[in-house]
Amino acid sequence: MPVLLRYPVNLFYPNVFIEYFAGFALKLQFLLVQRLCLVAAPMGVTFFMTYADAFFNNSMLLPLYFIASHRWEVVSHRREAVDKRRSARLNLLRA
**SS in 3 state form for the chain?**
CCCCCCCCCCCCCCCCCCCCCHHHHHHHHHHHHHHHHHHHHHHHHHHHHHHHHHHHHCCCHHHHHHHHHHHHHHHHHHHHHHHHHHHHHHHHHHC
pLDDT in the model for residue 87:
92
pLDDT in the model for residue 52:
61
Q: Where are the domains of the chain?
A: 1-56, 58-95
The low-confidence residues of the chain, meaning pLDDT below 70, are 1-68
Query: For residue range 68-84, what is the model confidence (pLDDT) as tens digits?
Result: 677 777 777 888 888 99
> Within 10 A of 18 (CB to CB), how many other CB atoms are there?
20
